[in-house]
Amino acid sequence: MKGIAYQKDPYGLGGESKGGSYSDPLSEEANCKRDIPIMREAGTNTIRAYSVNPDKDHDACMRLLQDAGIYVIADLSEPSQSINRADPQWTVDLFDRYKAVIDTLAQYDNTIGFFAGNEVTNNVSNTDASAFVKAAIRDSKQYIKDKGERWLGVGYAANDDSSIRELAAHYFNCGPAEETIDFWGYNLYSWCGDNSLSGSGYDKQVEFFSDYSVPVFLAEYGCNVPDGAEGRLWQDTTALYSDDMSDVFSGGIAYMYYQEENDYGLVEIDDDGKVSTMFNYEILSSRVAAATPSSTQASAYTPTNSAAACPSLASNWKVAADSLPPTPDRALCECVYDSLTCVPADGLDTESYGEIFGFICSEDSALCAAINSNTTEGVYGAYAACNDTQKLAVVMDAYYLDQDKAASACDHDGKARVRDDAPEAASSCEAKIESATKSASAGGGGASSTNGAGGDKESLGVVGHGVQTVSVFGRCAVGLYSVAAAGVGIVTIVL
């Protein structure tokens, strides 16, 4: 893989668009016609696109890339729809986004595969987010398989944090094959300035991944310290394709094509859209041209390494290895909502959600078990993937039933209503709710707290293993409740 990251990113390395806006580089035909020859001249055979809009037409760019012998690996998320490390969830809406990108790019022969997340867990404070990314990997792989597509890999791009990097690498590669990564992308920036294999720590990376059981490549590289983009010597490129590294690493993706405020660019674009290559582009091009890495034909690829054991719970790893969040199921969420009696009032402002969640869950945290997740215990609410309104209804109805259907228990200052006209659940809905109930019971939970599937507070649909629902969530100290901002539209329940 001789790659370049091809996406405009005015937010800097690892940055995110606070407004959620982004440009889709694979849909801009004029730019593709201008840029692809320049990348090809640099010896590029792969590009990474970070945000793809599935509603746009990608035929022209993908054809131009294929004609130039360039493959594509794409991230499945976009700025306003991604697994948020501050409040990680794997939801129905996000899964729909992932499926749409897969559908869009799977049709092109030069698509290699996808990243289900990029640096989502980036330090010890948010290792819990990895459970949701791994669930996304599992479900994306299954979706590709169910669609009958050719093989398309699904992987993860990790940052280089010394306190978690080995744990993360093993976590995403352990367990049943249907849940694990197909490749590991590593965003590595430790080779800065005039350096060496040992001085940069690259030799340690080679040593660690030498017995890794799936392909590994640098999903980003190209440190711009100390002299900015134009001071890059790209010695790491020469090392990457040398015998010292190419037996372990399958190449890498240089960051990045566009010169922007973050100062990582290879080319500059003037106000008229004209391109001028930078000095460090010339250096990178010469090093790629001189590279003669060892390689293996796909037909001869026979992996011999085995995945390591899953990491145990520790102070720097808060994820149980043997349980993942459930696959988001829109039909289940709609079914359970339709079965409830106490629901949010029509037109209720989402800003009011946090107040109601806070009141109910502080009254009895077990009432919120069906929508909560506990990665340390490996226990996940059966309805945690539903949208905010559906989750609020599940909690409201649980409280209403817990209070013996007292009129005041479904009022919340006029923010809730008792629905006398709840539709009769179709047999398919009853089956879905029953299935979720059984999954919860098998994992130590219970039936969902719906009119059609139990009604007491100890019957709260969760999936997990080896613990009872009420005892797990009853031990949680309930703290702050609020509706998350940052454009992701999700309820934050910090326990």
29 catalytically annotated: no
**Predicted local confidence at residue 325, as pLDDT:** 96
| Confidence band for 430, pLDDT divided at 50, 70 and 90 | confident
- Return the closest-CA partner of residue 371 out of 486, 481, 209: 481
Tell me the β-bridge partners of 277.
Answer: 267
Residues 6+ positions from 68 with CB-CB distance below 8 Å: 36, 37, 39, 40
| CATH code of the domain covering residue 254 | 3.20.20.80
Q: Where are the alpha helices (DSSP H) in 214-274?
A: 235-240, 243-246
Q: Using one digit for the tens of pLDDT, what is the confidence trace for 277-328? A: 999 999 999 999 999 998 888 888 888 899 999 999 999 999 999 999 999 9
What local confidence, expressed as pLDDT, does residue 487 receive?
Answer: 32
Structure tokens at 124: 């010890």
Q: Which residue of the set 28, 29, 78, 119 is catalytic?
A: 119
User: What are 225-250's pLDDT values in tens digits?
Assistant: 999 999 999 999 999 999 999 999 99
What backbone phi and psi angles, to 5 degrees, belong to 465? -155, 140
pLDDT at 27 over 80: yes
Q: Which domain holds residue 358?
A: 330-493
Domain assignment present for residue 309? The answer is: no
Q: Phi, psi at residue 154, to the nearest 5°?
A: -130, 125
Residue 325 inside a domain? The answer is no
- Mean pLDDT over residues 207-220, rounded? 97
Residues 412 and 275 in one domain: no
DSSP H or E segment with residue 167:
helix 165-171
Q: Is residue 314 part of a domain?
A: no
Label residue 164 exposed, middle or buried (CB < 10 Å: 0-12, 13-18, 19+).
buried
Top-confidence residue, 123 or 431: 123
Position 37 pLDDT exceeds 50: yes
Q: Is the pLDDT reported for residue 476 higher than 90?
A: no
Rg (CA), the chain: 24
User: pLDDT for 407-420, tens place per residue?
Assistant: 999 999 999 999 98
Q: Among 186-195, 336-345, 461-470, which stretch is predicted with the lowest mean pLDDT?
A: 461-470
Torsion angles phi and psi, residue 64, rounded to 5: -60, -40
Q: State whether 295 and 337 are in the same domain.
A: no
Structure tokens at 235: 């010695």
What pLDDT score was predicted for residue 453?
A: 33
pLDDT at 18: 60
User: Closest by alpha carbon to 465, among 322, 300, 306?
Assistant: 322
Task: Kindly list the distances between the CA atom of residue 98 and the CA atoms of 88, 92, 103, 104, 115, in Å, as whole numbers in the listed order.
Answer: 16, 10, 9, 10, 10
Task: Give the contacts of 89 (CB within 8 A, at least 6 positions apart).
Answer: 83, 132, 325, 373, 384, 385, 490
How high is the pLDDT of residue 149? 85
- Verify that 128 and 228 share a domain, yes or no: yes
- Bigger pLDDT: 123 or 491? 123
Does residue 168 sit within a domain?
yes
CATH of the domain at 431: 1.20.58.1040
In a domain, 321, yes or no: no
Residue 474 pLDDT > 50:
no
- Do the beta carbons of residue 238 and residue 289 sit within 8 Å? no
**pLDDT (tens digit per residue) in 74-92:** 999 998 999 999 999 999 9
One-letter identity of residue 192: C
Choose the final residue of a domain: 279, 300, 321.
300
Q: Tell me the two tokens of residue 416.
A: 């809730």
pLDDT category at 451 given cuts 50, 70, 90 is very low
Catalytic residue, chosen from 16, 41, 220, 458, is: 220
Reported as a pLDDT band with limits 50, 70 and 90, residue 57 is: very high
Does 272 lie in the same domain as 405?
A: no
Rounded Cα–Cα distance for residues 238 and 231 (Å): 16
Neighbour-count burial of 29, counting CB atoms closer than 10 A to its CB (0-12 exposed, 13-18 middle, 19+ buried): middle
Clarify whether residues 10 and 141 are in a common domain: yes
Query: 57, 56, 54, 52: which is closest to 72 by C-alpha?
Result: 52
Residue 425's pLDDT band (cuts 50, 70, 90): low
- Work out how many domains the chain is built from and give that number: 2
Tens-place pLDDT, residues 363-397: 999 999 999 999 999 999 999 999 999 999 999 99
Residue 231 DSSP label:
G
Here the tokens at position 439 are 């999954």
- Residue 137 covered by a domain: yes
Lowest-confidence region among 10-24, 239-253, 425-439: 10-24
Residue 487's closest CA among 8, 11, 79, 121? 79
Give kind and range of the element (H or E) at residue 73. strand 71-75
- Quick one: which of 121, 491, 97 has its CA closest to 330? 97
Q: Could you confirm whether 230 is annotated as catalytic?
A: no
Q: Per the structure block, which two tokens stand in for 40? A: 């090809």
